Structure 1
Amino acid sequence: MQRWLSKYRYVILFWLCFGVFRTSLADWNPIPSGSMRPTLVEGDVVLVNRVAYDLKLPLSDISLVKLDNPQRGDVVTFTSPKDGERLIKRIVGIPGDTLEMKNEVLWVNGTPATYADVQDIREPFAAGQTLAAVKLTEQVNTSKRTVQFIPQVRALRDFGPVVVPADSYFMLGDNRDNSADSRYIGFVPRRLLIGRAHHILASAQILDNWMPRFRRFGTPIL
């Protein structure tokens, strides 16, 4: 055993360092569903900065140092407070915000979002099935992103007003009518945030022929 450890000590050291790096500093996250369409699509693999907000004890939710505060518009990975599943959504509400949704229109602190650049599209929904959808640009104050709606899908299009508690965040998927977000799982405590997703590392057409989408490699997440 001692000879084996001596022989492979550099390999063992490498994997230990790699493990600490991935659980503490940076990570990648595959996108298995369409809840963040059109920003992220099935088959994207995103880079996640685990120290964007907190330096945590490896393999835990314990924050050692707070480095920065999450902002509205950040795309983040987090652990669902409902069932522990790892999710990726967009922050639309920070502590103290009053949020409301009226017929799909998001209101933040009494101000409605504005919508522009409307496009009619077809959205993949089930195996071999597409539905009519609408893609548009949503802007709340200085935060701007592309979202989409699927009118034929039953979804929670009205809620609130609700006030985001201290040290918690309200998440929405960009695919508003096909996302299990804070409308269903509740507010997300800061301790459950994993990190901020900032670039697409790689992408493949996992719903079709698994061919790579080279044009998406390295693109920033807006």
Structure 2
Amino acid sequence: MKKVLSFIWNWVVPIAIGVIAYLLITTFWINIVTINGDSMDPNLLDQQKVVVQKTQNLKRGDVVVFDAREEDPRIKAGNKDYVKRVIAVAGDTVQYKDGTLYVNDKKVDQSFISTDEQNAGTASSFGSSWSLQSLSSTGLWKQDDQNKSVVPKDSYFVLGDHRSVSNDSRYFGFVSKKHVVGKIHVPFWYSTTVKDNIAKENQHYFA
């Protein structure tokens, strides 16, 4: 009997505690995900592993993971989650003009991406000047998001850092807060340069 109790105490209990702790952490706090694709290049690379913090308290500049099956009506088969950067939050206006991105009529510091991505990449299929109103009137966006001039309540406007290849809010509309999985954090084993680039827009959002 003593051997059985000793076995339970020394082996079964620690393993059970570990499993429970793992489930609690991955369900309610953090998880590890692998970046799939180049839409956040060069700040997040294809197949790079990152930490996702499960939080609903998001700010402009945060990089987030969300369930794209609920947001992108033209999502490719086999895809599930997208990783993008929050550009605007509820109540914000967004406008792009000749290489400059504005949120609430204030210029956004985009030094975290190349000049080419700030210009041609952001213009992409939508020309050298666009706004939420013009994007939401293209017919590409989800029905509920069409003909909007400001970001709706509990929603976000997101863009990829690699604008020329990114499938983001320009193409499918706003991301609902309830579909956000969490906020990206770059693990310690990546270079300081990469981590600084991820945080840069959040620290210096407006020029």
Structure 1 and Structure 2 fold alike (TM over 0.5):
yes
Distance verdict in 2 for CA 1:21–1:177, change over 3 Å: same
The amino acid of 1:30's aligned partner reads T
Partner of 1:190: 177
Q: Percent identity?
A: 28
Partner of 1:130: none
Structure 1, unmatched stretches of 5+, are 54-68, 114-138, 203-213
Per-residue CA deviation, residues 75-117 of structure 1 (Å, 9 max, x unaligned), is 111112125821111100110111122344322112333xxxx
Tell me the CA shift for residue 196 of structure 1: 1.2
Tell me the CA shift for residue 216 of structure 1: 6.6
Partner of 1:116: none
Give the one of 155, 169, 184 matched to 1:168.
155
The amino acid of 2:172's aligned partner reads I
Native 8 Å contact 1:31 1:45 kept in 2: yes
Q: CA RMSD in A?
A: 3.0
Distance verdict in 2 for CA 1:154–1:164, change over 3 Å: closer
Partner of 1:156: 125
Once the two structures are superposed, the pairs formed by residues 112-131 of structure 1 within 5 Å of their partners are 112-113=107-108
Q: SS where residue 112 of structure 2 aligns?
A: strand
The amino acid of 2:166's aligned partner reads S
| Higher mean C-alpha deviation, range 8-17 or range 192-201 | 8-17
C-alpha separation in 2, matches of 1:108 and 1:18: 40
Partner of 2:62: 74
Distance verdict in 2 for CA 1:185–1:169, change over 3 Å: same
Tell me the CA shift for residue 215 of structure 1: 3.9
Tell me the CA shift for residue 9 of structure 1: 6.3
More helix by share: 2
Partner of 1:41: 45
The amino acid of 1:160's aligned partner reads S
Partner of 2:113: 147
C-alpha separation in 2, matches of 1:107 and 1:50: 28
The amino acid of 2:45's aligned partner reads V
Structure showing greater radius of gyration is 2
The amino acid of 1:33's aligned partner reads G
C-alpha separation in 1, matches of 2:107 and 2:170: 18
TM-score (norm 2): 0.65
Native 8 Å contact 2:121 2:162 kept in 1: no
Partner of 1:210: none
Distance verdict in 2 for CA 1:215–1:85, change over 3 Å: same
Tell me the CA shift for residue 38 of structure 1: 1.4
TM-score (norm 1): 0.61
Structure 2, unmatched stretches of 5+, are 133-148, 200-207
Per-residue CA deviation, residues 54-79 of structure 1 (Å, 9 max, x unaligned), is xxxxxxxxxxxxxxx31111111111
Tell me the CA shift for residue 11 of structure 1: 3.6
Q: SS where residue 41 of structure 1 aligns?
A: coil
More strand by share: 1
Distance verdict in 2 for CA 1:15–1:188, change over 3 Å: same
Tell me the CA shift for residue 171 of structure 1: 0.4
Tell me the CA shift for residue 8 of structure 1: 5.5
Partner of 2:24: 20
